[in-house]
Amino acid sequence: MAVITFALTNLNDIEMRTTIISTVLLLILAPASLAEWSKHPSGSLAWFKTIAFSDAQTGFIGGSKGIFLRTDDGGETWKPQRKFTSDTIRKIYFTDDRNGWALCERDIYRLGSDDPSYLMRTENGGKTWTKIEFDEADRRRITSLVFSKRGFGLAMGEMGTMYALKNDRVTWEKIAPPTRFLMLDGAFASEFRGALVGGGGTILFTEDAGVTWSKAAVSKPVRSMLNSVYFVDRNYGWTVGAKGSIYQTVNGGKYWRLQNTFSNPDLNGVYFKDSANGWAVGDGGVILRTTTGGNVWVEDRSRSRNNLEDIQFFYGKGWIVGFGGTLLKYETGIRNRPKLQR
């Protein structure tokens, strides 16, 4: 290990050395505190796009060409299910243990006169699925779904296209778009607060449960794509995107501060367990982890070079899915941090 020495000439030098030593110690000790991600058998080489659980035992993985896996033992084994579509499953979301949605995207070369996106709905925990088309669809791709804690549903996509789930909990009604940028993800921080992210570095926020959306303030605006957003509570949230960009909010989405990761791969998913501990995943198998709320990020051991698409935690277990049937599981055992000698 290289040793760095400093010539101290004044108090500022001492303060600088203290800061540097603290940072070096943090980086040295961080890997010892990181739990491991391990490869988990999926039995597939498909491009996994999404993972969701309806309860502690029952989970689903969706992806390219309608691949649809199910677990009934908390993720220990995953079995292919009879396909309810041959199209890509972009997003799976369960509002409770019985009611769920799957956002599907048709193959661009087989569109014909059909719209590019549609939904599949289940009312029996994923046993059967029914197709639901978007009302007044205009051949614009829908990329993601988001639900508030009170059941408000929103679908978003190209050119800012948006649909809201009506009170019948079946019909999706087209609403006026708050932007013309491609929107890629959304999340609610509370019953009323939420944020949407997408192309051109766009971040929108709401404080009235999605009735109106406003452009958020950003410390250092970028035009890079923002792919994923997550809130850990009503105030703290993170969004990640192209070229390793990560932003943090501490006021429910109104203002976002750029956090440096010194990482270049595009980031596709983000998850935080609390206001300090979180992960971001992306292209080339990159997994970044922070234990400082994003002030310092370190690379976690990935065990995969495939692009990683989604990261979620359900009932104490962590899961990452990606290209080539990649399925990673978070092992909860944490190596003991070495004690410092006084």
Q: What is the mean pLDDT of residues 5-27?
A: 38
274 by Cβ neighbours in 10 Å (0-12 / 13-18 / 19+) ranks as: exposed
Q: How far apart are the first and last CA of the chain?
A: 21
Instruction: Indicate the pTM of the whole model.
Output: 0.86
Whether 162 and 174 have beta carbons less than 8 Å apart is answered as yes
Is 4 among the domain residues? no
Q: What is the pLDDT of residue 223?
A: 85
> Residue 71's pLDDT band (boundaries 50, 70, 90)?
very high
Residue 341 belongs to some domain of the structure: no
CB-CB contact of 119 with 135 (8 Å): no
pLDDT tens-place string over residues 126-181: 999 999 999 887 889 999 999 998 889 999 999 999 999 999 999 999 999 999 99
Strand-pairing partners, residue 120, are 102, 131
Please give the DSSP secondary-structure letter assigned to residue 174.
Answer: E
72 lies in some domain: yes
Q: Domain containing 94 — which CATH number?
A: 2.130.10.10
Residue 229 counted as domain residue: yes
List pLDDT tens digits, range 239-272. 999 999 999 999 999 999 999 778 789 999 999 9
Q: Does a structural domain hold residue 133?
A: yes
Average pLDDT (43-69) is 98
Mean per-residue pLDDT, 61-83? 98
Residue 19 counted as domain residue: yes
Choose among 35, 16, 28: nearest CA to 329. Answer: 35
Structure tokens at 235: 């105030």
Work out how many domains the chain is built from and give that number. 1
Three-state SS at 16:
helix
Domain presence at residue 342: no
Within-domain flag for 335: no
The pLDDT of residue 158: 97
In which domain, by residue range, is 263 found?
Answer: 11-330
pLDDT band at 109 (very low <50, low <70, confident <90, very high): confident
